Amino acid sequence: MQARLLPFLVAMACASLGSQAAGAAGVTRQMIDADARTGADVLTWGLGTQGQRYSPLRQVNTGNVGKLVPAWAFSFGGEKQRGQESQPVIHDGKMFVTASYSRLFALDAATGRKLWKYEHRLPDGIMPCCDVINRGAALYDNLVIFGTLDAQLVALNQDTGEVVWKEKVDDYAAGYSMSAAPLIVDGLVLTGVSGGEFGVVGRVEARDAKTGALVWTRPTVEGHMGYTYDPDGNRKENGVSGTAGKSWPGDLWKTGGAATWLGGTYDPKTGLAYFGTGNPAPWNSHLRKGDNLYSCSTVAIDVKTGRIVWHYQNTPNDGWDFDGVNEFVTFDMDGKRVGGKADRNGFFYVNDAATGKLLNAFPFVRKVTWATSIDLATGRPNYVAENRPGDPTSATEGKGRTVFAAPSFLGGKNQMPMAYSPDTKLFYVPANEWGMDIWNEPIAYKKGAAYLGAGFTIKTLNDDYIGALRAIDPKTGKIVWEQKNGAPLWGGVLTTAGNLVFWGTPEGYLKAADAKTGKVVWQFQTGSGVVAPPVTWEQDGVQYVSVVSGWGGAVPLWGGDVARKVNYLEQGGMVWVFKLPKP
C-alpha cells in the first residue's frame, strides 16, 4: 500500500509546488472575492461569484458608447464551429476562452495574439444533449480549469498550456458530460454534471483546485449518499441527500436526473454555494408520482461541509422539462441578502439567500399555461391540471394526451445568464416567448440511451418576436422596459456603472442599451449569432468589451418550428474585443 501510494503523493506534491512557484503572481482567494468590485480582471463566470454580471467600470458609458470600435478579433478556426457559449476570463493581460469541442485558447488580451491552444482529445460516442458547447473556464493560482464533453476536469498552466492535472468526473458512455464553467471558492473547484436526458444522477463536487483531489460530493437526487474524502483519497459517508423514497416512487430515484449542468454561484456573506438542478428523469411525470426532490430546484450547499443547508423547488413533479438550473444571483433588497432566479418555467423567484424562504414570485414572460401563479405562503405553484401532458398508460394509441404548454421546454430563460445592477436595482433578463405541443410516451431506462418518455414540437407565439431583453424590478415584478428580438435570445447579459446593458442576438449583433430607459445606443454585427455572455475589463487605462460569436446550441437542434424559422443563421467561431478609439 505504501509503495503504491508514495509515487502518487510525490507527484501531487510536485504539481502543487510547481503551480505555487509559477503562480507567485497567480489568482488568489482574495482576488476572487474582490472580482465583483474591481474592473482590472474577469476571474469568474459571472464577473464575481455572486453572478451579478455587473462591472463598476464607467469609461465606456451612454455618452460615448456609440464610438465603440473593434480592437481585435480572433477566429477559433478549423471545421469545429457549432455553438459558442463561452464567457472569457481575463487575468494578467491574458484572455482564456473555451470553444466548441472542448478547446481552450490563451490570447493576449490587448492584441488578440494567440499564446497557446489546448485541444482535448474526445473519444467517439460522447453524448452531449445540446450541442458540443463549453461555457467557460475558472482561474486559480497559475491554473486555468475547465470541464470537457467526455466528463473530465482539466487544469492547465496559464503560461504554457501544459496539463497540470486531469481528473475523470464520470462515465461519458452513461451519458455524463460537462459544459459549465467551474466555480472557485476558498481554494476548492466546484463543478456540476450534465446528462439529465440520459438518466444520470446529478451532483455537485468539490476538489482541491491545485491538485484535483476530491474533497466532497453532494448528490442532488433524494436518496443518494454524499461523501467526503481525506488527503489519501479515503471515502467517508457524509449523509444521504434527503430521505430515500420519500418523494420518488420505486427505484426511479436511482436514475433521477436533476443534473447541475449550468454550474453555481457563491455568496461570501452566507458561505453558501447555490446550484440549480435540472429536470427529473424521465420526462413522463406519470411514472414518478411525488415532488421528485431535488430536481428543478435551487440547492444551497455549505462549502465547508458539502451538506445541503436549504432547498427550494421551483417545479415539483415537473412534467414539461422545466429544468431549474438557472443561476441564483444574490443581491441586497430591503436590508436583506436575497437571491433572484428567472426559471425556465416562466416565473421569477426571490428567495432569502440564508434560509431559502420564498419572498416573491411572478411571471417574467407574457404567457404561462402550466400554472396560474406561485403561492407565496406555501411556495408551491398553483397548477393548471388539464395542462399537464396525459398519461400514456390510459391511452389506446400508445401516447398520452397532447397539450399545449407555454413556455416551451426551452424555457422562459435557458442557459443565457441575466445581469443585476445595484445602480438601477433592476435585473436584465434575456427572455423568450414560445410554447410547445407535448405528449408522454412509454419509456424504460437503458444505460447511455435517451431517457425522455415524451415527444414535443416547439411553437412560436407571436409573428413579430420570440426573444425580449427585459428590465425587471424584483420587488414589484414590473417589466420596466423591454427590447424585442425576432429570433430567440440565447446569449447572456452584462451591465456596467456606465449605465449600459450589453447583450447579443442570434442575428449576429452585440448591442448596448441605456440601463434606465432601454434605448439602444450602439450595435455591431459580429458575423454569426451571439449565444454567449459579454464581459468587460480595464487594462493599461483602457476599458475593453468582449463577446464570443458563433451560432448554435439547443435551438437549432431542438427548436422545431422555431429552428426552421431561423435556419438562415450562419455558424461561426470568433471572439470579438472592442474599445473606444484614442482621442
Q: CATH no. for residue 103?
A: 2.140.10.10
Least confident of 3-12, 153-162, 280-289, 303-312: 3-12
What's the Cα-to-Cα distance from 546 to each of 65, 73, 376, 543, rounded to whole Å? 14, 9, 40, 10
CA distance 31 to 567: 43
Per-residue pLDDT, averaged over 91-110, amounts to 97
**pLDDT of 568 higher than 70:** yes
CA distance 526 to 486: 17
Least confident of 24-28, 233-237, 248-252, 269-273: 24-28
What's the Cα-to-Cα distance from 52 to each of 44, 346, 430, 442, rounded to whole Å? 11, 20, 14, 42
In the prediction, which pLDDT does 77 show?
Answer: 84
Q: Which of 140, 142, 90, 149 is nearest to 119 (CA)?
A: 149
Least confident of 54-68, 208-222, 291-305, 545-559: 545-559
Respond yes or no: is residue 321 known to be catalytic: yes
- Banded pLDDT at 163 (limits 50, 70, 90): very high
Locate 287 and state its grid cell.
Answer: 411514472
Q: What is the DSSP letter of 122?
A: P
8 Å CB contact between 573 and 100:
yes
Locate 483 and state its grid cell.
Answer: 427590447
In the prediction, which pLDDT does 7 show?
Answer: 39
Q: Which of 208, 288, 217, 283 is nearest to 248 (CA)?
A: 288
Q: Which of 63, 86, 52, 58 is nearest to 533 (CA)?
A: 86
- Banded pLDDT at 127 (limits 50, 70, 90): confident
CA distance 325 to 171: 21
CA distance 216 to 208: 10
In the prediction, which pLDDT does 25 show?
Answer: 67
In the prediction, which pLDDT does 13 show?
Answer: 41
How do strand 89-91 and strand 69-75 relate by DSSP bridges?
unpaired
In the prediction, which pLDDT does 63 show?
Answer: 97
In the prediction, which pLDDT does 523 show?
Answer: 98
How many separate domains does the chain show? 1
- Banded pLDDT at 129 (limits 50, 70, 90): confident
In the prediction, which pLDDT does 19 show?
Answer: 39
pLDDT digits (tens, 9 = 90+) for 39-56: 999 999 999 999 999 999
Assign 235 to helix, strand or coil.
strand
478 burial via Cβ count (<10 Å: 0-12, 13-18, 19+): exposed
Buried b vs exposed e over 67-101: b needs ≥16 C-beta within 10 Å?
ebeebbebebeeeebbbbbbbbbbbeebbbbbbbb
- Banded pLDDT at 11 (limits 50, 70, 90): very low
Pick the more confident residue, 579 or 81: 579
Buried b vs exposed e over 415-425: b needs ≥16 C-beta within 10 Å?
bbbbbbbebbe
In the prediction, which pLDDT does 138 show?
Answer: 98
SS (H, E, C) 18-59: HHHHHCCCCECHHHHHCHHHCCCCECCCCCCCCCCCEECCCC
Domain membership of residue 349 as a residue range: 2-546+555-579
- Banded pLDDT at 559 (limits 50, 70, 90): confident
8 Å CB contact between 455 and 441:
yes
Task: Give the count of alpha carbons within 13 A of 94, CB side only.
Answer: 21
Task: Give the count of alpha carbons within 13 A of 570, CB side only.
Answer: 9
Locate 198 and state its grid cell.
Answer: 440520459
Per-residue pLDDT, averaged over 96-108, amounts to 97
**pLDDT of 563 higher than 90:** no
**pLDDT of 450 higher than 80:** yes
**pLDDT of 465 higher than 80:** yes
Q: Report the first-to-last Cα separation within the chain, whole angstroms.
A: 68
**pLDDT of 552 higher than 70:** yes
Per-residue pLDDT, averaged over 44-69, amounts to 98
Grid cell 454561484 is found at 265
pLDDT digits (tens, 9 = 90+) for 470-497: 999 999 999 999 999 999 999 999 999 9
Locate 205 and state its grid cell.
Answer: 463536487
CA distance 166 to 11: 13
Locate 211 and state its grid cell.
Answer: 491538485
Pick the more confident residue, 565 or 548: 548
8 Å CB contact between 323 and 279:
yes
In the prediction, which pLDDT does 2 show?
Answer: 38
> Rg of the Cα trace of the chain?
22
Q: Which of 162, 167, 211, 214 is nearest to 13 (CA)?
A: 211
8 Å CB contact between 398 and 405:
no
Which one of 131, 170, 321, 323 is the catalytic residue? Answer: 321
Please state, rounded to an integer, the average pLDDT across all residues of the chain: 93
In the prediction, which pLDDT does 79 show?
Answer: 65
